[in-house]
Structure 1
Amino acid sequence: MKFIKIGIITVLATISFCMSTTAQLLDFETDTIKVSPIYPKKNMLVSRLPFFYIKKQDLPFYLVNRKVNYWKSTGSFGLNLNQAAFSDNWSSGGVNSISLSTLLNYKAEYNKDGKNFISEVILQYGKLKNKDQMQRKTNDRIFWDNKASLRISQNWNFFGSLSFESQFDLGYVYSKDAQGNEIRKPISKFMSPGYLTESFGFEYKPEKYFSLRLGTGTARQTFMLDTTLYRNNAKNFGVPIGKNFRNELAFQAVMNFEKEIATNINLKSRYLLFASYEHLNNIDQRLDITLTAKVNRLVNVTVAGTALYDDDFSSEIQSSQSLALGLVYKFKP
């Protein structure tokens, strides 16, 4: 009997538990089934923000006090030496000769907040001596150009410039006398002529390697400190005979192009147009082109050419060309 009572109690307890559980799932008033929400499983590949921290670092005093340098300057010095020698019985003929030429180019540029300043100096000098002939110049030029500009739009600047040009040594014309001897007469020298040009206007500069100046207001002074050179040059570079000075007002255009057109090959050109308001029918023009190929760190091959038209000296186009293999040392001050 005891075991029967225990069995009955166990069955009643089980029934009571099942009824209470069913009552929780069923809502008899609304006759609906309550369903617990099912949440998605957690992503095992949890992405976390990278851990970082700020660390205090003590810097050396020379780094803390460092300032931004808005100047960029470059320079180069070149030396070319050519020599040839032949024996008296050389079957192909020839003339003993020796020549030496030098070149110094320095350029400094400042850029900050749309303000730009460029100063460039070009110094060239060369001599050639052939056997039984007087020595001659192969190069002789002093050129100093300064330009300050202010940006007014993306490609246009307002500029003002000042440039100076002359030569180092005496220049001669060569001829022969009645006996066949070579003679020479001076036609130019330092500051005879010398040119000082002031200009202001607008500059178009769409790229770093190209610029075009349009000097709507330009003045040029031509100096002839030696008033006797007119005897061998009747035009006297446009300066009235017996005078030392001539002033001209003009329109000036200057185009500059400098770019590395291939590996170790640089092309630099400068075109100048000077149209005097007094003589618009005679426009002075000059084109300089220099192609430099770098052989190694110190040796370069340079091809240079100049075409010049200046009615104050000659009514025909003047030209010069040179090819040189020499040493070029580049420096950064």
Structure 2
Amino acid sequence: MKKFLYVLSLIASATVVQAQNSEKELIKNTEQAAKKLADTIPNGWIKKGNISFLFNQSNFNNWTAGGENNLSGNLGINYDFNYKKNDVSWDNKVLASYGLLQSENSSFNKKTDDRLEFNSILGKQAFENWYYSFFLNFRTQFTKGYQYGKDANGAEIRNHTTSFLSPGYLTLGPGMYWKKNENLRINFAPLTSKFTFVDNTFTSTPGYVDGDYFGVDANKSMRYELGFYASAYYKFNLMTNVSFENTLNLYSNYLEDPQNVDIDYSLNVVLKINKYLSTNVQFQAIYDDNAFQGFQTREVFGLGVNYGF
């Protein structure tokens, strides 16, 4: 009887172990299949985008601590349209945003955001995740920009400093493109041309001559650079309904001060509340010594109304 129970227990143990192994193998195979499916991009166009509107308001009435009534709104568009056919991929992204601030004690409506950017990378697979590539990046703004101050009587004044296509940046060149998936990709371009376009009205105005206006020489409307360009894109979910989208662009000009690397970093954080509401945080830091001797930063935070398409 004891031998029978012993043999029975061995059979039961072996059955349990086999079942556990089968279960582990099934889970492993399922995970591998899911990963393969996620990494496999079908041929044709994949289009997706998001429109967001951020709104902020402050109102004070007999508030002893002080304050200024203001109203602001920001409209943003983030749109991707990507194409794939066998070993050829073409990734495109449009970023556009614009915001205004109306303040009770200001004579002017002031911009809180103004951005128009287009990114495009065409790639042909070389091996595994590497592609031969050609990229294009274009950046400018929608409307006039101003610097604000006060006159001798204390009245608010403004000086016109920038416009649409002034400056405008066009960067393009061949390179190598590493693409793990839609959310992780890096591009290297060692022979990149960069064009800076401006309105020559500024370069012929006192204070904006001799390369003082975005590096463009006096009475000129364009600056050319040749250098090394690298870009990286990484998007991940920190937790459920919380996504982080990171973009980094680096550029070094071979022709002048190659040690002064231009940096453009953007972070977009979306804390999704439901299908249409979210909390949005946008941060951008730029270093370009032809535009400003130091870091330029931009931050937008607010409750957003979102629509995906």
Give the TM interval when normalised to the shorter protein: 0.7 to 0.9
How far apart are residue 207 of structure 1 and its match?
Answer: 4.1
Q: Provide closer, same or farther for how the CA distance between residues 201 and 119 of structure 1 changes in structure 2, counting only shifts above 3 A.
A: same
**Partners of 2:115 and 2:141 within 8 A in 1:** yes
Match of 1:238 in 2: 215
Question: Does structure 2 conserve the Cα–Cα contact (< 8 Å) formed by 1:75 and 1:330?
Answer: yes
Distance 1:104 1:231 in 2: 37
Partner residue of 1:115 out of 84, 88, 97: 88
Q: CA deviation at 1:307?
A: 1.0
User: Counterpart in 2 of 1:30?
Assistant: none
Superposed CA offset, 1:16-50 (max 9, x none): xxxxxxxxxxxxxxxxxxxxxxxxxxxxxxxxxxx
Check whether the contact 1:251–1:275 (CA below 8 A) recurs between aligned residues.
yes
Taking the TM superposition and a 5 Å limit, the aligned residue runs for 1:179-258 are 179-228=153-202, 231=206, 233=208, 235-258=212-235
Q: CA deviation at 1:289?
A: 0.7
Q: What are the superposed Cα offsets for residues 220-267 of structure 1, whole Å, 9 maximum, x if unpaired?
A: 111112422654556100111211111111100101111223211111
Q: Cα offset for 1:104?
A: 1.2
* Paired position in structure 1 for 2:15: none
Deviation digits for residues 29-83 of structure 1 (CA, Å, limit 9, x no counterpart): xxxxxxxxxxxxxxxxxxxxxxxxxxxxxxxxxxxxxxx8621100111112211
Partner AA of 1:75 in structure 2: G
* Equivalent runs, 1:145-160 vs 2, <5 Å: 145-160=119-134
Aligned: 1:273 with 2:250: yes
Residues 50-69 of structure 1 mapped to structure 2, 5 A cutoff: none
> Which deviates the most, 201-210 or 89-98?
201-210
TM-score by length of 2: 0.81
Mapped partners of 1:171, 1:226: distance in 2: 16
1:155: Cα distance to partner? 2.2
Q: How far apart in 1 are the matches of 2:78 and 2:300?
A: 17
Runs of 4+ in 1 over 6 A off after TM superposition: none
Matched, 1:325 2:299: no
CA distance in 2, matches of 1:231, 1:111: 50
Letter in 2 for 1:83: Q
The letter for the 2-side match of 1:91 is: T
Q: Could you tell me which residue of structure 2 aligns to residue 51 of structure 1?
A: none
Shift in alpha-carbon separation, 1:312–1:136, aligned structure 2, 3 A: same
| Alignment: residue pair count | 263
Does the C-alpha gap of structure 1 residues 286 and 278 become closer, same or farther in structure 2, counting only changes over 3 Å? same
The one-letter code matched in structure 1 to 2:266 is D
- 2-structure distance, mates of 1:107, 1:181: 45
Q: Percent identity?
A: 30
Structural mapping, 1:84-163, within 5 Å: 84-87=58-61, 89-133=62-106, 134-163=108-137
Kindly indicate whether residue 237 of structure 2 is the aligned counterpart of residue 264 of structure 1. Answer: no
**Change in CA separation of 1:120 and 1:207 when aligned onto 2, cut-off 3 Å:** closer
- Cα deviation, residue 101, structure 1: 0.9
Query: For residue 262 of structure 1, what is the amino acid of its counterpart?
Result: M
1:88-129 residue CA offsets vs partner (Å, 9 max, x unmatched):
x21221100000110012111112212100111111100011
Once residues 137 and 195 of structure 1 are traced to their aligned partners in structure 2, the CA distance between those partners, rounded to angstroms, is 20
1:299 and 2:277 aligned: yes
User: Any unmatched runs of 5+ in structure 2?
Assistant: 1-41
Which amino acid in the other structure matches residue 243 of structure 2? N
**Which has the larger Rg?**
1
Q: Which residue is equivalent to 2:139?
A: 165
Q: Please, what TM-score do these two structures have when normalized by structure 1?
A: 0.76
- In the TM superposition, what is the alpha-carbon distance from 1:315 to its structure 2 partner? 1.1
Q: Distance in 2 between matches of 1:140 and 1:204?
A: 31
Cα distance change, pair 135–231 in 1 and its aligned pair in 2 (3 A)? farther
Give 2:54's aligned residue: 80
CA RMSD of aligned residues (A): 1.5
Does the CA-based 8 Å contact 2:43-2:85 persist in structure 1? no
